[in-house]
Amino acid sequence: MYEIHSIITCPKCGYKQSEKMPTNYCMYFYECKGCKEVLKPKRGDCCVFCSYGTFPCPPVQLDGKCC
């Protein structure tokens, strides 16, 4: 089993938002609800959840591979 909710923390303003992670695709862009900054994954990560979330995306949780 894996987590489907993750809290994304914006690196610019620190705003935290709980989001449901998609299970069938990677979320490459995410707009912060605090400052409206558009987040992209850090180099080497497949999605914003892997970079800024409390849990990585479901595919990484299940088998360690990106979407």
11-62 pLDDT, tens digit each: 999 999 999 999 888 899 999 999 999 999 999 999 999 999 999 999 899 8
In this predicted structure, the answer to whether residue 66 has a pLDDT above a threshold of 80 is no
* pTM for this predicted structure: 0.91
In this predicted structure, the answer to whether residue 63 has a pLDDT above a threshold of 90 is no
**According to the model, what pLDDT value does residue 64 have?**
82
In this predicted structure, the answer to whether residue 67 has a pLDDT above a threshold of 80 is no
User: What b/e string do you get for 18-57 counting C-beta neighbours within 10 Å, with b at 16 or more?
Assistant: ebebeeeebbeebebeeeeeebebeeebbbbbbbbbebbb
